[in-house]
Amino acid sequence: MRILDRYITKSIILIFIATVLTFCFLYILIDVTSNLDEYIKYKIPFPILLQYYSASLPFILTQTSSIACLIAILFTFSRLNNNNEIIAMRSSGMSFWKITKPALYFGLIASILVFWLNEKYLPHAQKISEKIRNDYMVLEVDRIRKQEKKITNLTFYGLKNRLYFVDTFDQHTNELFGITIIEYDEHQNILQKIVAFKGDWTGLAWKFYQCQITSFEPQDIEAPVKIKIYKEKLMDIKETPTDFLRQRLQVSSMNIRELYQYISRFSKSGAAKALNNLRVDLHQKIAYPFGNFVIVLLGLPFALMIRSRKGTTFSALGIAILVGFLYYVANAIMLAFGKGGFLAPFLSAWATPFIFSIIALTIIESDFS
């Protein structure tokens, strides 16, 4: 590595670390201030609080890394510009890409780091944080009430193209109440409708009580072919109580492999909208980390334009906030279009990085060619 590259890289790394530490400090300070009464009330030991906030660090880093990268690069290059070092580099024949190569490499490494954290540490860290909160920050009576709390209005898409509607699921006794199951064929025609008052898990299968099974002719949905009523009946349902509980699993707590397996399991359920939303989330998990590199690419030409010595700090912060805000707003809009069915999942997740990359390259080509 050349001396100049080491000089630029060192400045970027130091400012990046300082910015991330500042964000972490502010996050912890605000959270501690907001929850101080609870910590004192529950007499939470300091080592537990330390473990709790340590588990929050991967989340803070992944959420703030792009802005921290941008601030570090803006400060570094605006300072070089103010000291006329950029002019000296350009006069020596260095192109925009040679000057900014350390920053681009740093942005790419930051993207890979965020991707790695999201896959390896973030899901586990969130589970640790949730466990500590449940064990130490919730009263015993509230914890027991939560464990015994019944899940209401449970809706999900299961195997065999079945759509489940359950009024109440008692996770303590593994009982279902107010059950409606609609089974579709591959063309989304209703084949069967199952309605039951109650369902019990026997350990091997579900037993439904006061159950009515109506079979339909796909070509004529309004003409039921067969109606059977059972006082009690063992059902051919593959989902276990654990599967019912997993329907509440948050996408944010899954890594890419887990989410892909989850989608694959229900890919033949016929749930077009739900599956489309999950696929958008899957592609977003891949595309999101590379926003670090795209934001850096877009911020670099502005960094080289800052020349006012007095306004360097405010100009750098202002540009960082503006670029970051525009990027995240555009990304949120594209994801909304994807989940609304207006864009393909892949396109909705990657449209913002692609568009902002084109904008950045256009600015670079027009101003630094």
pLDDT tens for 48-71 read 888 888 888 888 888 888 889 888
Q: Is residue 174 part of a domain?
A: yes
CATH number at residue 171: 2.60.450.10
**Arithmetic mean of pLDDT, 30-39:** 84
Q: Is residue 51 part of a domain?
A: yes
Q: Which domain holds residue 234?
A: 160-238
Q: Are residues 8 and 100 located together in one domain of the fold?
A: yes
Q: Is residue 87 part of a domain?
A: yes
Q: Is residue 259 part of a domain?
A: no
Please give the Cα distance from 182 to 192 (Å, whole number).
6
Q: How many domains does the chain have?
A: 2
Q: Is residue 98 part of a domain?
A: yes
Q: Are residues 75 and 17 located together in one domain of the fold?
A: yes
The owner of tokens 């696929």 is 279
pLDDT of 147 higher than 90: no
Rounded to the nearest 5 degrees, what angle is found at the Cα of 332, between the Cα atoms of 260 and 245? 40
Last residue of a domain, one of 187, 222, 238: 238
Report field, pTM of the whole predicted structure over 0.85: no
Strand partners, 234: 207
Q: Are residues 295 and 233 located together in one domain of the fold?
A: no
Q: Are residues 306 and 353 located together in one domain of the fold?
A: yes
Q: Are residues 72 and 104 located together in one domain of the fold?
A: yes
The owner of tokens 């555009």 is 330
Tell me how far CA of residue 277 lies from CA of 69, 199, 272, 341, in angstroms. 30, 30, 9, 9
What local confidence, expressed as pLDDT, does residue 142 receive?
A: 45
Last residue of a domain, one of 238, 262, 291: 238
Percent of the chain past pLDDT 90, that is, above it, reads 24
Q: Is residue 266 part of a domain?
A: no
Q: Are residues 219 and 173 located together in one domain of the fold?
A: yes
**Arithmetic mean of pLDDT, 169-193:** 84
Q: Are residues 128 and 7 located together in one domain of the fold?
A: yes
Q: Are residues 33 and 119 located together in one domain of the fold?
A: yes
**What confidence tier does 311 reach under pLDDT thresholds 50, 70, 90?**
low
Encode pLDDT of 220-271 as tens digits: 656 557 889 999 999 988 888 887 776 655 666 778 888 887 777 666 555 5
Q: Is residue 274 part of a domain?
A: no
Q: Is residue 103 part of a domain?
A: yes
The owner of tokens 């009580």 is 209
Please give the Cα distance from 137 to 39 (Å, whole number).
7
